[in-house]
Amino acid sequence: MSSRNRNELWGRALVDELARCGLRHVVVSPGSRSTPLVLAAASDSRLQVTPQVDERSAGFLGLGVGKITGAPAAVVTTSGTAVANLLPAVVEAAQSETPLLILTADRPPWLRGADANQTIEQRGIFGGYVRLFEELSPSEVSERTLRHLRSVACRATAAALGDPAGPVHLNLPFAKPLEPSVVPGDLPAELAEGRTPGSSGRAAGKPWTQVRAMRAGPTDADLTALLDALDGCQAPVLVAGVVPRPWEVGPVIRRAARVLGVPLLADALSGARYYESGGGDEPVVGGYDLALSSPALRESLRPDLVIRIGSPPTSAMLGRWLRSLEDVEHFVISGGGRWKDHLAVATRVIAADPVRFLEELVQESEASRRSKRSSSLWSEVEADVRAQVSRIALGSHFEGGIVADLVARVDPGDVLFVSNSMPVRDLDTFVPAHPRSLTVVGNRGASGIDGIISTSAGVSLASGRRVIAIVGDLALLHDSNGLASLRHPGVRVVVVVMNNDGGGIFHLLPIREFEPAFTPLFATPHGRDLSLLSAFHGLPHLDVSRESADELARAAESTPARVGSDLGDAWEEAMGWKGSGILEVRTDRDRNRIHREGVIEAISLAVGTATTTERG
């Protein structure tokens, strides 16, 4: 295919090379300066191009693709504040080690710093959050510069996939004309007609430079140190926090725990807590948050060795317990050079990819026939927690019980996306481990409530699976523009909104006692009718009240949406939607706090009493 001007050739060469490196999803926001990139992506049959008018939502949409595939999407924007709107998604990608390519169009250098319209300083705008930044300008187009362009595209992909994975920023200044109009003399004939390797790429669709993502392997010294530590202890624990690529990392962590005979305290986002039972003994523990709430159990469960994988766990109770183990040896296994020890308890940091390290650790352990330990106490605790959650929390009219009820209904073929603030905490606390495969995703890198809907849409778009997104009402309102993405072909997201008319998490903090400032400035009640928001975006809406009959009647009078008191019936109806929709569950913030604290106290007391009685 011939090119009519240098911008068209430049955009095509870059997009072509990224596609050769594996790019399959491109998210674009409208704008003039990015025209060469948008048209190049739209004309490439290898790419699925998804439009999103809001750049902040677009960034998170691309982030969702990387979350579920482990491969970067490209997000294309015009110049100016469009670029600045990508910062939240870039930060989350950096902190959660999610691959993401940011392609920002820019004004040419002679318009910068000269009061030209829609021109800001885009170079380095994302600071240290990107794994790589390059500015690539078609001001000179030659075989040499096109080869360099393709080389940088390969390098950018490798950097996005590297250890740690993360965002990469390519800034692309374009001078007019931006459209594919003919500019006589703009290009040499051999470049315009694609007769050189730089203009057409390498033969057989190969990347210009093949680069494998780096995954650091373990050293013999690190393996020996941990194996010796295991030999010298009686009560080790393996703690799995939030990890990138949970579908890959989780099963390896479980196998290591099983072979070594070490109890595995698995975060809900570790990929290890919810698993398909193979009939073997899986020492997976998910009820540690409730168990460690019991003073009677904290000392009984005290380990003499801690091995930690991934980012810090969601559970604050587990974090406080780990911090209290000052005289215990702590091994932290983390690839990519990111420091993951904010508790400052690590005695040894092993800089290796967790998958590679654990696989070799298991091989060494099996080869040397080292003794397998018993994890019976933690197993008893987990069984007790599971029983008490089923008896006390499941089906209760508070948000933790509702989350437990919902998760029990999620089909294993679906993806569960949990929002920050309360949903992820309720999942981590009230849904212990169970032998049922479940893919769980969340934005725990920076733990913001922004971009939740858009990230869920990206997960569905790239995976082809239905996503059940459990979010709070403020998170929904924060990313309301992301609801537009739920109407795209191939996107199927059921958004379950815990609507307590504000920020329920603040009711768990001491600030709740400081009225009159607390309610308007922290709880921030909004009073919005979410059915109108659903209708605006053309999405079906169900309203399920978990409050009193009087409140249900008032809700029925105030909203045109279907209102039902039975969550099960509403769930079945929502599962029949062919596309996306919103299932709203209304609760009360303060009553939820009181109920939640009572349930936690009752469960921790029951578990502590039962376990200590059995051991006695």
pLDDT for 414? 97
pLDDT for 566? 73
- For 17-44, write each residue's pLDDT tens digit: 999 999 999 999 999 999 999 999 999 9
pLDDT top residue among 369 and 347: 347
The CA dihedral of 430, 431, 432, 438, to the nearest 10 degrees, is: -160
- For 393-450, write each residue's pLDDT tens digit: 877 778 999 999 999 999 999 999 999 999 999 999 999 998 788 999 999 999 999 9
CA distance 119 to 109: 10
CA distance 152 to 164: 19
Exposed, middle or buried by CB within 10 Å (0-12, 13-18, 19+), for 92?
buried
pLDDT for 575? 96
Check: CB of residue 364 under 8 Å from CB of residue 260: no
- C-alpha 538: how far from its chain's center? 26
- For 545-560, write each residue's pLDDT tens digit: 755 434 434 444 443 3
CATH H-level, domain 220-375: superfamily: TPP-binding domain (3.40.50.1220)
Average confidence score pLDDT of the chain: 90
pLDDT for 367? 77
pLDDT at 11 over 70: yes
pLDDT at 308 over 90: yes
Averaged pLDDT for residues 229-252: 94
Averaged pLDDT for residues 45-60: 97
- Tell me where in the chain the CATH 3.40.50.970 domain(s) lie: 6-205, 399-586
Backbone angles phi, psi at 605, to 5 degrees: -65, -45
- Taking the CB of residue 431, how many other CB atoms lie within 10 A of it? 28
Q: Residue 615 — very low, low, confident or very high, per pLDDT cuts 50/70/90?
A: low
- Of 284, 288, 278, 226, residue with least CA distance to 254: 284
CA distance 153 to 147: 10
| Confidence (pTM) | 0.93
Check: CB of residue 563 under 8 Å from CB of residue 556: yes
Amino acid at position 370, single letter: R
Averaged pLDDT for residues 303-325: 95
* DSSP β-bridge partners for residue 494: 468, 581
pLDDT at 484 over 60: yes
Residues in the chain: 616
pLDDT for 552? 39
- Of 250, 40, 10, residue with least CA distance to 147: 10
pLDDT top residue among 279 and 225: 225
CA distance 79 to 307: 46
- Of 401, 350, 56, 310, residue with least CA distance to 219: 350
Domain at 399-586: CATH code:
3.40.50.970
CATH H-level, domain 6-205: superfamily: Thiamin diphosphate (ThDP)-binding fold, Pyr/PP domains (3.40.50.970)
Amino acid at position 39, single letter: L
CA distance 526 to 528: 5
- For 503-537, write each residue's pLDDT tens digit: 888 888 888 888 999 888 888 989 999 999 999 99
Amino acid at position 335, single letter: G
Check: CB of residue 211 under 8 Å from CB of residue 159: no
- Tell me where in the chain the CATH 3.40.50.1220 domain(s) lie: 220-375
- For 580-607, write each residue's pLDDT tens digit: 999 999 988 888 888 888 988 898 888 8
| Residue keyed to tokens 């999405």 | 539
